[in-house]
């Protein structure tokens, strides 16, 4: 798995440069990767998942990061 900063840069590029929707870009860098690597509880927001969430500003900068449901940044 790549570094978080690299995945986030890829996410931004997909949305800003390639015109993907935020929902589709999330699938590319999170949901699909977690499924491919068989990382249970990752890549989805669902009951029983790890509650790892990145909250963004409107201009796609990181505002908050939650890991295991706890605010870390």
> Using alpha carbons only, what angle is made at residue 64 by residues 15 and 23, rounded to the nearest 5 degrees?
30
What pLDDT was estimated at residue 34? 85
Phi, psi dihedral angles at 53 (to 5 degrees): -140, 140
Mean pLDDT of 34-39: 88
pTM for the full model?
A: 0.73
- pLDDT one-digit tens code per residue, 1-20: 556 678 889 999 999 999 99
Indicate the pairing of strand 53-56 with strand 62-67.
antiparallel
């Amino acid at each position: 798995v790549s570094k978080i900063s690299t995945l986030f840069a890829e996410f931004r590029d997909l949305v800003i440069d390639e015109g993907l929707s935020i929902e589709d870009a999330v699938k590319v860098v999170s949901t699909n990767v977690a499924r491919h690597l068989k990382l249970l509880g990752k890549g989805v927001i669902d009951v029983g998942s790890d509650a790892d969430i990145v909250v963004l500003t409107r201009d796609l900068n990181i505002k908050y990061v939650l890991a295991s449901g706890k605010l870390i940044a």
